[in-house]
Structure formats: C-alpha cells, structure tokens
Amino acid sequence: MKILVAAIILAYSFIPQNISEFTKGANGLLESQVNNGLVDYAAIAKDPAQIKQLYDEVGGISLEGASDAEKKAFYINAYNIVTIHQIIQNYPVKSPMDINGFFDKNKHKVAGASLTLNELEKEHLLKDHFDARAHFVLVCAAMSCPPLASFAYQADQLDQQLEERTREALNNPEFIQVDKNKKKVRISKIFDWYKSDFTKNGASVLQYINQYRSEKIPESYKVGFYEYSWALNKQ
C-alpha cells in the first residue's frame, strides 16, 4: 500500500503544471508582498511556503502548445519568482551579489530545463521572444533594477503591461536622471550592458528612451551612466 501511495505521489509530481494557475499564484504573491517596487522579503521569509510552491511550479510548467505571448509572459514571471526564491533561500542578505553564482552559476528548473537566471533571460526570453521592453520588467533584486510590479504578467495583457512598465521606468527621475542646468542625463547601466538590444533599428539609446518619455531629452545632452546599486530591493 505504501509503495502504491508513493508511486501515485511520484506520478502526480510529474504532471505538468498549468500556466494560468501559476500566473494566478504569482500575481497573489506579488500583489501582497510588493509595494512601490520593493519586496517584503522579511514577511515572505517568515512563511516561505507560497514562494516555494511557485518556484516548484516554475519547474513543472509545460510550454507545449503555448502561444508566443504565453511563453513570454511565463518566462518573465518565472525570472522574477526564481529571483525572489533565491533571495529567500539566503535571507537575510544585503545584496544578490553576496550570493555566489546568483545569476550565472546557480541552476533552476524552468519548464523542465535546468537554467541559470542569465540563461533564462538571454537564451529563452531575449533570444527566442525578443522584446527590449523586457529589460524593464525583469527584476534582479537590486535597488537599481526597474521597480518590480505588484502583479504577474498575463499573456492577454502582455503588450499593454510591457508598454506601461517601460513608460513608468523611463519617466522615473531616479531611473533616468536629467540635469537641465548642466545639459546632461545619467542613465542606467542596463543601457550599457545591453546596448545592442536598444539600438537594433539604428537608433541611439537616447532615441529609444525618448520614445517612451512624456518630456523628451534633447539629443544635444551628454549621456553618462550612474553607479548601479546592488543593494537589496527590500521594503
């Protein structure tokens, strides 16, 4: 009898998880634990069952038959859930950079594949489902990352959600630091690290940014980069 029960449990563990159920769960976590782009890691760490369940669901998702939008939304949500889970596993911690291999060595099961965060981002999202706006919704657990949304990304709302979050980031005076007196603008190192993603159509980085700004930055302004803060994006 014990063998039969164990076999049933083992078989059930390999049933692919449903994307919509995972998205609903991720939305619930983010809605309750994210405020103004910052995460209440302390609260999650006190009761880590929900983030652990979501992390396990990321690994068990089947993308067979999923649309491009469903895959893209899933990979964005998966990245953010894996990031939070990895912080909780090491909490308390002051920065993701204090965790060895956080981005480039530690492997996670994502839709059946074993991936690092870098591989998830570069090989499965930006390569297969390229959208430069993804840089403003993938959150690396650091203060200089774009603010984390307090909701999960939905396939049927994805374009609108990406557009809104990109506009919010690129009009944020902390993320895009304009000095009118000195005719300078300091921007995130994201635009340096991933420059080719923003200049694919021959436009400059500044021209890309201006597409989403309500107040355009003059082309004559000198562009520089501010120091990236890797301090934890905690509440």
Q: What is the DSSP string of 112-154?
A: TEEE-HHHIIIIIITTTS--GGGGGT---SBTTSPPPPSS---
Residue 231 lies in a domain: no
Does residue 115 surpass a pLDDT of 60? yes
Residue 233 lies in a domain: no
Mean pLDDT of the chain: 93
Query: Domain containing 48: what range?
Result: 2-225
Q: What is the mean pLDDT of residues 140-151?
A: 97
Q: How confident is the model at residue 13 (pLDDT cuts 50, 70, 90)?
A: very low
Q: What is the mean pLDDT of residues 15-32?
A: 90
Residue 121 lies in a domain: yes
Residue 151 lies in a domain: yes
Residue 161 lies in a domain: yes
**Percent of the chain residues past pLDDT 90, beyond the cut:** 91
If one counts the domains in the chain, the total is 1
pLDDT tens digits, one per residue of 169-187: 999 999 999 999 999 999 9
Lowest pLDDT segment from 9-23, 73-87, 106-120, 138-152: 9-23
Residue 20 lies in a domain: yes
Task: Give me the pLDDT at residue 3, please.
Answer: 54
**Percent of the chain residues past pLDDT 70, beyond the cut:** 93
Lowest pLDDT segment from 3-7, 109-113, 157-161, 220-224: 3-7
Q: What is the mean pLDDT of residues 124-138?
A: 95
Report which residue type is found at 148. L
Residue 109 lies in a domain: yes
> Own/partner pairs for 131-136, CB < 8 Å, 24+ apart?
131/72, 131/162, 132/194, 132/197, 132/198, 132/200, 132/208, 133/162, 133/163, 133/165, 133/166, 134/72, 134/76, 134/162, 135/190, 135/194, 135/197, 136/162, 136/165, 136/166, 136/168, 136/169, 136/170
Q: What pTM does this model have?
A: 0.92
Residue 235 lies in a domain: no
Task: Give me the pLDDT at residue 1, please.
Answer: 54
Does residue 7 surpass a pLDDT of 90? no
pLDDT tens digits, one per residue of 37-68: 999 999 999 999 999 999 999 999 999 999 99
Task: Give me the pLDDT at residue 201, please.
Answer: 84
Does residue 205 surpass a pLDDT of 70? yes
